[in-house]
Amino acid sequence: MEYTSFPTLQEPAIPTEGIGFPLRALARILDLIIHNLTVVGFSFIIGIIIGFAATAVGSEVPEFATEDTGARLISGLFGVIGFILYSSICEAYCGATIGKMILGLFVVDKKGEQISFGAALIRSMLFYIDQLIFGLIGYLIMKESPLHQRLGDKAAGTVVIKRSEVRSSETPSGCMMVIVPVVAVAFDVVIQIVPVLFMAS
């Protein structure tokens, strides 16, 4: 007698090993390059538009108060907010930032499931503690962790693993892999451009 076999539900792939410091640091560097290049590019374009508009109406081209300490601090704060939002959106809805995608990394929770936006936000904000002393804080914490979790990972309950180890039900569709990073970069750019516009005098 033959028995019909029914497909069983795929069990969560619980992470047993996380990605170490060097590869994750490289992914972060790639993200920072993207973060800085996009805002520089869009700032340049907006500067040209403002210049043409001022010339068209016969007024002086505004100067940007780049030497003002307060303006630079505000600009830096908005840059941090933009990068946190970019990272959080990408990791919550796509499992990885662009840098992590390039290197084949993926962020999951301890059950191997997709993380929430709240968890992504926590790990993104605490990155600025982990990266102190050129990343030494994060490196030392990760070195003592079996899953190579930095402070942000421990607080958010997340683990960075290889994309190939993620179960198929947790990986986003091809469209999401394109749309989410584009939206995240757009938010990052808009937030960073706001202080640039206010610095025009």
The identity of residue 117, as a single letter, is F
Stretch 1-8: mean pLDDT, rounded?
Answer: 47
pLDDT above 60 (res 23)? yes
Which of 63-72, 113-122, 143-152 has the weakest average pLDDT?
63-72
* Domain assignments of the chain as residue spans, ordered by start: 21-42+71-198
Q: Are residues 156 and 107 in contact, defined by beta-carbon separation less than 8 angstroms?
A: no
Contact in structure between 21 and 135 (CB atoms under 8 Å): yes
pLDDT, tens digit, for every residue of 56-102? 776 765 565 556 677 678 778 888 999 999 999 999 999 999 999 99
DSSP states of 127-193: HHHHTHHHHHHHHHHHHT-TT---HHHHHHTEEEEEGGGS-GGGSPPHHHHHHHHHHHHHHHHHHHH
Percent of the chain with pLDDT over 70: 83
Mean pLDDT of the 48-57 span: 72
| Tens-digit pLDDT profile for residues 177-199 | 899 999 999 888 888 877 766 66
Taking residues 163-184, report their average pLDDT: 85
- The confidence band for 6, taking pLDDT boundaries of 50, 70 and 90, is very low
Give this prediction's pTM: 0.82
